[in-house]
């Protein structure tokens, strides 16, 4: 359904702990997923992300980080050499926030020469805007009607995927009460992203809708540069399976992880980035153009200095659309997504931020 595609092309927390590989409405289970692949990409608990963050503002007041994070189990932070954007000298980059933020970990970067254009973009990515327990809530309107709500969040804990540490991102879209009479949906997307090179290791989509049920898994073997795509759709009593194993670039995102990825890029006015997106065993290009500074107001969020970003996608078929998408993200220490607008064949679709929380505390 179009409204869900828009938010899951963000490329975008409740405090209930996610149950990986247990709740059928979370990580997809596809009937024909090979047992060896299932074991290789099994998601397991890892460590708490113990990274100091900027203090959230609750009702106009700064909240002390020590109070917000008293429940977090402290894990000794490893000392790892960090990679500078411009030179090969390993350094630690600081920002105006209270924490020390860096570019991606400076271990051996694979495929620098064969994928030099993408590598040049990835090497500029910074972890400044990865906030454990961050939660975006959006309201989706379609032809002026409140059609759905979408939750996009980052889980506090890292997980293990095939022996690699990964960030866990999650999105859930549900029909608005009124719109259920038109079309009912409850869709969940999850993305597990390597914590060093910020490339997805596993992506899953579970669609439970009026007209169809879909389970879609994408398993990314980054070492071999192969994606394993498994898919099951039940529609009108007919079951369809798809299975593909295809080559892919090392540096690519999925439709959820790209939202977190582009927030960590420099995003200077006039910048343009080409980001490969791998989905359904195909790789498409997403172009991200940083257009202007604008001040916008959405609901209770008034006069937010924002970056206007145009996003163009090259794809066809089920995910095809007309026109481009426009994103407005706050030009501050959070880079929250404030609003997204997308054109469809019969009207504009808007996603507007209804609340933004860190550690369960609303940030205004």
pLDDT of residue 85: 36
pLDDT of residue 322: 42
pLDDT of residue 363: 92
pLDDT of residue 9: 40
Could you give the CA distance from residue 138 to residue 336 in angstroms, rounded to a whole number? 11
Which stretches of the chain drop beneath a pLDDT of 70?
1-33, 46-108, 179-183, 314-323, 346
Q: What are the tokens at 272?
A: 């343009």
Q: How many domains does the chain divide into? A: 1
pLDDT of residue 43: 84
- Domain assignment of residue 224, given as a range: 2-362
């Amino acid at each position: 359904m179009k409204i869900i595609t828009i938010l899951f092309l963000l490329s975008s927390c409740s405090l209930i702990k996610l149950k990986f590989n247990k709740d059928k409405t979370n990580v997809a289970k596809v009937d024909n997923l090979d047992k060896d692949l299932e074991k290789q990409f099994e998601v397991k608990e890892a460590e708490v992300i113990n990274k100091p963050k900027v203090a959230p503002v609750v009702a106009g007041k700064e909240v002390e980080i020590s109070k917000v994070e008293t429940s977090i189990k402290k894990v000794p932070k490893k000392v790892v050499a960090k990679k500078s954007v411009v030179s090969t000298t390993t350094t630690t980059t600081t920002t105006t926030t209270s924490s020390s933020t860096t570019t991606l970990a400076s271990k051996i970067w694979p495929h620098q020469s064969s994928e030099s254009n993408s590598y040049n973009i990835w090497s500029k990515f910074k972890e400044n805007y990865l906030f454990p327990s961050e939660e975006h809530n959006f309201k989706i309107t379609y032809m002026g009607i409140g059609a759905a709500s979408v939750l996009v969040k980052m889980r506090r804990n890292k997980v293990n995927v095939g022996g690699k540490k990964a960030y866990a991102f999650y999105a859930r879209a549900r029909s608005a009460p009124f719109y259920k009479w038109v079309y009912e949906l409850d869709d969940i997307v999850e993305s597990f992203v390597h914590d060093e090179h910020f490339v997805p290791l596993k992506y899953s989509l579970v669609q439970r809708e009026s007209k169809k049920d879909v389970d879609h898994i994408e398993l990314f073997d980054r070492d071999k540069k192969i994606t394993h795509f498994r898919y099951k759709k039940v529609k009108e009593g007919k079951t369809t399976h798809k299975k593909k194993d295809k080559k892919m670039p090392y540096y690519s995102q999925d439709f959820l992880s790209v939202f977190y990825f582009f927030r960590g890029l420099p995003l200077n006015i006039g910048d343009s980035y080409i980001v490969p997106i791998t989905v359904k065993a195909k790789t498409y290009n997403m172009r991200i153009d940083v257009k202007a500074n604008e001040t916008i107001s959405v609901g209770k969020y008034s006069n937010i200095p924002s970056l206007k970003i145009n996003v163009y996608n090259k794809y066809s078929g089920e995910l095809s659309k007309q026109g481009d998408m426009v994103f407005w993200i706050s030009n501050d220490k959070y880079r929250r997504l404030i609003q997204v607008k997308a054109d469809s064949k019969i009207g504009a679709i808007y996603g507007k931020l209804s609340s933004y929380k860190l550690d369960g505390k609303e940030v205004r």
